[in-house]
A and B are shown apart, each in its own frame.
Chain A
Amino acid sequence: MSEVHLDAAGHEEPSFSTKAIWRTFWVLLIITLLELTLAIIYYESPGLRPYKHFVNGLYVIGTLAKAFFIIAEFMHLRHEIKNLILSLVFPAMLFIWFLIAFLWDGNSFKNLRNRYDRYEYQQSQTPLAKKPGVE
């Protein structure tokens, strides 16, 4: 933020610092590697199966952190003025409602179908002996 110069339209634009770019790169890479390590640990240890929701929560936190760094640093939004940031953040908050409403609905479909379509439910609980389509 130290060096400020004007662009063609007369706006002030803070210049990009190469150091900040590489720092963001390392943050993104490390979060991705942590997520992968977690996925592999989870896959290799059957004892962790009951904690799937907790592991998923960690993935979501990692994903949101990565999204924040890409938008704030790579897309430079953190260095824009508040008016622009708020005009983009407020509509994006609709996603919170979308997620809650639709995932809730999906879960409700599942419960209704399992309750009223018993045949389909039995089918979905029976493991197949061998893979279809193979051989």
Chain B
Amino acid sequence: MSQAITAGQKWWSGGKSPYNVEYGKLMMWFFLMSDAFTFGAFLISYGTIRFSSNSWPNPNEVFRSFPGVKGEMPIPLAFVSLMTFILIMSSVTMVMAVAAGHNNDRKGVMKWMAWTILGGLAFLSCQAWEWTHLHSEGAWWGANPFLNIDGTQSSTNFTNFFFTITGFHGFHVFSGVIINIIMLIMTWKGSFDRKGHYLMIEKAGLYWHFVDLVWVFVFTCFYLL
């Protein structure tokens, strides 16, 4: 059974799995690859439009609000930092669930999956608040109340791209939370104990980390650059 991985092994001569991973996991990797190109297309089209514009709104001025704080925060980007922290944290709890799954520790998997779901829901709530707040300021698809950084009239490209891309990312987070809830229920019912392995948790984990990975790029493109 045990395949010793030695130098010079002929992976492609047949008779063995050339990727050395389970089929479902390999397909998850290829799906994420294609999804990366979808997000990449969105972000690059955003970049193209931004490069073709003479000026653009300043994210430090647009994203200044925090729930419960009247007016503007003394420092910009405080709320989005919190969202980023929540998502990184939920990625950590997801790896913990995968690690527990490796040791066939059902209780551990359930505990860490529950934390991951909580993190995902917290992130979605933050995003819902941010969208509601921006909408109340008059920003929506086709409506941009913000001026460019140099005080000139801004086009609706800014809000169109912001809502489309964060919305598409938020939809991925939402799907991830649903998948994680299903995984938690299956763990609770003992499906993975009967199978003898927790590979499904790993595949859900790959998807969840990908969502975190995309957020890293969305965060840079919309809030920092």
Contact = CB atoms under 8 A, between A and B. Distances in A.
Interface in B4-40: 5, 11, 17-22, 26, 29, 33, 36-37, 40
Interface in A51-90: 56, 59-60, 62-63, 66-67, 70-71, 73-75, 80-81, 83-84, 87-88
A74 B209 contact: yes
B213 A67 contact: yes
Nearest to A98: B44
A21 B99 contact: yes
A124 B209 CA distance: 41
A60 B125 CA distance: 28
Given A59-B225, A60-B220, A84-B29, A29 B85 contact: yes
B47 A99 contact: yes
B1 interface: yes
A11 B50 CA distance: 47
Interface residues of A, number: 68
A101 B38 CA distance: 17
Contacts of A6: 1-2
Interface in A6-64: 6-13, 15-16, 18, 21-22, 24-25, 28-29, 32, 35-36, 39-40, 43, 56, 59-60, 62-63
A8 B193 CA distance: 12
A39 B224 contact: yes
A16 to B, nearest CB: 4
Interface of B: 1-3, 5, 11, 17-22, 26, 29, 33, 36-37, 40, 44-45, 47-55, 60, 75-77, 81, 84-85, 88-89, 91-92, 94-96, 98-99, 102-103, 138, 143, 145-147, 150-153, 195-197, 199, 205-206, 209-210, 212-213, 216-217, 219-220, 223-225
20 contacts: A7-B197, A8-B195, A9-B17, A10-B3, A32-B81, A39-B223, A39-B224, A75-B209, A75-B213, A80-B20, A84-B20, A88-B33, A98-B40, A99-B47, A102-B48, A103-B48, A103-B51, A109-B51, A126-B152, A127-B151
